[in-house]
Amino acid sequence: MNPAGQLAKALPGAEIRRLVPLQGGDLSEVARADLADGRIAVLKRGPLAGREARMLRAMAAAGAPVPDVLGFDDGLLVLDWLEPGPSDAAAWTACGAGLRRLHGSLAASCGWDEDYAFGPVAIPNGRMESWPGFWAERRLLPFLPHLPASLARRVETLARRLPDLLPARPPAALLHGDLWQGNIHFSGGTGMLIDPACYHGDAEADLAMLDLFGRIPAAFLDGYGTLAPGWEGRRPLYQIWPALVHLRLFGGSYAGLAGRLLERCGA
């Protein structure tokens, strides 16, 4: 990363004293920047930096625990540095309460005002009134051209059945959109939500993803509060999308996961 020129536009007057690459950026470059004025920032470079900045600011306005956006420009996002802290039960509880606040920010329809992407995987977010329609048209069906024929048929079958399996118009909550445990950074006594892919939809989609690659800690659920009856039965319907994302990004080792989830969905 050589962001000095970009930083001058994203954060006027800032100068880098030291730059240290950070681990964890599968789809973007991330570095810690010690600035000449004593501040510490995180620099994240990618083509959708402005969109991520707007998402983080919307999340902050909803009361969610997120890093402050210091600036952005020309593919560079500048965030406040979060000093790492313990991931103890109290921090998980605070994180759950923070996610509940995020989900309390509602919209009139599902979707987001900008599309997004995970690298080569497009994430269409055009707004829709029907939640099953959104999940089918914006999340599952775009994968069909990229799947083996047998898997594509099963995904298509599931998409047709969604009106019978998902609520037609649940509260359109503001979602993190990519909520796995690697996108929770513990700092300041809570879990800070990072690397969002926001849109409005059923809050259970965030919870399902958090449960996909590791069990949700009980302390987190204590902070989040009551879940709607039947949410565990709907969970695989929401987990299939991140499984398909991983299959597209990281290859066939995720085909088995996608197949097992489809089986749990009855497809």
The catalytic site residues sit at 178
d(CA 28, CA 111): 24
Q: What is the separation of C-alpha 99 from the centre of its chain, rounded to a whole number of angstroms? A: 12
Q: What backbone phi and psi angles, to 5 degrees, belong to 175?
A: -105, 150
Q: What is the separation of C-alpha 250 from the centre of its chain, rounded to a whole number of angstroms? A: 17
Q: What is the separation of C-alpha 11 from the centre of its chain, rounded to a whole number of angstroms? A: 25
Q: What value does the CA radius of gyration of the chain take, rounded to a whole number of Å?
A: 19
Q: What backbone phi and psi angles, to 5 degrees, belong to 160?
A: -65, -30
d(CA 207, CA 109): 20
Of 210, 204, 203, 205, whose CA–CA distance to 92 is shortest? 210
3-state secondary structure of 187: strand
d(CA 92, CA 184): 10
d(CA 190, CA 97): 9
Continuous segment of H or E residues that includes residue 213:
none
